[in-house]
């Protein structure tokens, strides 16, 4: 039977009292710590182990039991923190040699929770648009560019088309020049090869990579290049994407323009530039199943960074199965 907080070992109760009085922890936190210490005491009772003689091996085994009971990595980490805090308090108590009458000392040599780590937290999956949502967003941008025919709408269509076509980071996109400058003082961070339909960018760690650009994106980029070249401030900067004042476009402007465009496209989620990169990676992987190629196009140093998109791919397949398979929900109440 699980112990109640009032059944806790006297030293555990004393520890919680000090946390309340000296550290002024909230009632919610104290309750959580009490439950964690109760788990520790229960494990010791089940294994007939004296709480004051617990070893590192015992703690590892009990952490494993928490995991087998379905506890999350976050919950296990909190429990280990509570256990470690209590044993630290006990060792400090012994070090002070408090000899007041009626006080129990633990005679602990070391903290048994030291070097025991919780299971690694699962990385949260990056948010990606569905193929339909991504196409809806790009089509909205192209439609507005054709209808409005103003500099900003045409530029935005080229930006969004390129983000989705080549999976660039925002910093990489904004570093692109119209033409490659070989001047050492003003060397281009990135540039477009208009004939080869390829973009070269400077990624993380100062590593350059070249990524193909699809035909629709090249069409949007060529339209933007013509508008840009005819503008009064075309000669002010070699940057491909310029603001209305002729300066290299800022990240904040792109983020804001993309957010409002997504709202006009009727997308039910907040869209940001990196989501376009996630969408590119996920959709290419769904179609090609070529993890190495996606790794190269994204500029990931490690394949492990790219493998997270296999989870997105499986998530997409699972959702499709749930919607389409006649027995996907069989037996669900």
The pLDDT tens digits for 52-62 are 889 888 998 89
Note whether 93 and 135 are same-domain residues: no
Across the range 175-196, mean pLDDT stands at: 88
- Most confidently predicted of 7-11, 182-186, 231-235, 310-314: 7-11
Note whether 170 and 313 are same-domain residues: yes
Across the range 303-322, mean pLDDT stands at: 62
CATH number at residue 45: 1.10.150.130
Domain limit, last residue, from 55, 79, 101: 101
Note whether 182 and 248 are same-domain residues: yes
Note whether 72 and 181 are same-domain residues: no
Query: Would 193 be classed as within a structural domain?
Result: yes
Note whether 187 and 83 are same-domain residues: no
Note whether 63 and 136 are same-domain residues: no
Domain limit, last residue, from 101, 122, 157: 101
Domain hosting 28: range is 10-101
Note whether 161 and 63 are same-domain residues: no
Note whether 74 and 221 are same-domain residues: no
**Using one digit for the tens of pLDDT, what is the confidence trace for 25-44?**
888 889 999 999 999 999 99
Q: What is the pLDDT of residue 321?
A: 44
Query: Would 204 be classed as within a structural domain?
Result: yes
Res 5 pLDDT > 50: no
Residue 232 Cα distances to 34, 158, 248, angstroms: 70, 20, 15
Beta strands 176-177 and 190-193, pairing class:
parallel
Q: What is the pLDDT of residue 268?
A: 84
Here the tokens at position 12 are 């555990």
Note whether 80 and 147 are same-domain residues: no
Contacts of 287 (CB under 8 A, 6+ apart): none
Query: Would 121 be classed as within a structural domain?
Result: no
Per the prediction, the chain carries an average pLDDT of 84
Query: Would 125 be classed as within a structural domain?
Result: no
Cα separation, 325 vs 333, in Å, equals 17
Query: Would 164 be classed as within a structural domain?
Result: yes
**Using one digit for the tens of pLDDT, what is the confidence trace for 148-184?**
999 999 999 999 999 999 999 999 999 999 989 877 7
Element (H, E) at 81: helix 73-96
Q: What is the pLDDT of residue 13?
A: 92
Q: How far is CA 161 from the centre of its chain?
A: 24
- Residue 201 pairs in a beta bridge with 209
Q: For the chain, where are the E strands, in sequence order?
A: 176-177, 190-193, 198-202, 208-212
The residue to which tokens 């390129």 are assigned? 162
Cα separation, 153 vs 163, in Å, equals 15
Query: Would 150 be classed as within a structural domain?
Result: yes
131-148 vs 215-230: helix axis angle to the nearest 10? 30
Query: Would 1 be classed as within a structural domain?
Result: no
Domain limit, last residue, from 59, 86, 101: 101
Q: What is the pLDDT of residue 301?
A: 86
Q: What is the pLDDT of residue 331?
A: 44
Across the range 115-142, mean pLDDT stands at: 83
Note whether 236 and 302 are same-domain residues: yes
**Using one digit for the tens of pLDDT, what is the confidence trace for 202-244?**
998 889 999 999 999 999 999 999 999 888 777 788 999 999 8
Here the tokens at position 70 are 């379905």
Q: Give me the number of domains the chain comprises.
A: 2
Q: Give the whole-number percent of the chain exceeding pLDDT 70.
A: 84
Q: Is the pTM of this model over 0.85?
A: no
**Using one digit for the tens of pLDDT, what is the confidence trace for 230-280?**
887 777 889 999 998 889 999 999 999 999 999 999 998 899 999 999 999
Query: Would 31 be classed as within a structural domain?
Result: yes
More confident residue, 55 or 289: 55
Note whether 227 and 89 are same-domain residues: no
**Contact status, residue 106 vs residue 12, Cβ threshold 8 Å:** no
State the Rg of the chain over Cα.
29
Q: How far is CA 140 from the centre of its chain?
A: 28
CATH number at residue 205: 1.10.443.10
Note whether 282 and 237 are same-domain residues: yes
- Of the candidates 67, 66, 18, which has an alpha carbon nearest to the alpha carbon of residue 42? 66
Known catalytic residues? 169, 204, 274, 277, 300, 309
Q: What is the pLDDT of residue 122?
A: 56
Q: What is the pLDDT of residue 121?
A: 63
């Amino acid at each position: 039977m699980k112990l109640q907080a009032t059944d806790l070992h006297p030293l555990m109760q004393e520890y919680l009292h000090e946390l309340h009085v000296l550290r002024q922890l909230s009632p919610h936190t104290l309750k959580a710590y009490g439950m964690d210490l109760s788990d520790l005491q229960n494990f010791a009772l089940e294994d007939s182990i004296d709480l004051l003689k617990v070893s590192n091996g015992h703690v590892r085994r009990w952490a494993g039991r928490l995991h087998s009971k379905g506890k999350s990595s976050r919950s296990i980490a909190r429990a280990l923190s509570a256990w470690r805090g209590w044993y630290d308090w006990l060792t400090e108590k012994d070090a002070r040699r408090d000899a007041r009458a009626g006080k129990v000392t633990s005679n602990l040599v070391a903290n048994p929770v030291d070097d025991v780590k919780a299971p690694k937290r699962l990385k949260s999956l990056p948010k990606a648009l569905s193929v339909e949502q991504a196409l809806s967003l790009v089509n909205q941008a192209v439609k507005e560019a054709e209808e409005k025919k103003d500099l900003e709408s045409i530029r935005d269509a080229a930006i969004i088309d390129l983000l989705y076509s080549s999976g660039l980071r925002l910093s990489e996109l904004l570093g692109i020049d119209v033409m490659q400058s070989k001047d050492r003082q003003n060397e281009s961070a990135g540039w477009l090869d208009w004939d080869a339909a390829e973009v070269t960018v400077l990624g993380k760690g100062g590593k350059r990579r070249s990524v193909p650009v699809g035909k629709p994106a090249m069409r949007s980029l060529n339209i933007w290049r013509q508008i840009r070249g005819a503008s009064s401030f075309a000669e002010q900067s070699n940057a491909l994407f310029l603001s209305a004042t002729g300066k290299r476009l800022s990240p904040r402007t792109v983020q804001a323009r993309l957010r409002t465009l997504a709202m006009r496209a009727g997308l039910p989620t907040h869209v940001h530039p990196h989501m376009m990169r996630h969408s590119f990676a996920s959709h290419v992987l769904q179609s090609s199943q070529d993890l190495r190629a996606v790794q190269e196009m994204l500029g990931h140093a490690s394949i492990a960074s790219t493998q997270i998109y296999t989870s997105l791919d499986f998530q997409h397949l699972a959702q499709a199965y749930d919607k389409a398979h006649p027995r996907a929900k069989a037996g669900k109440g």
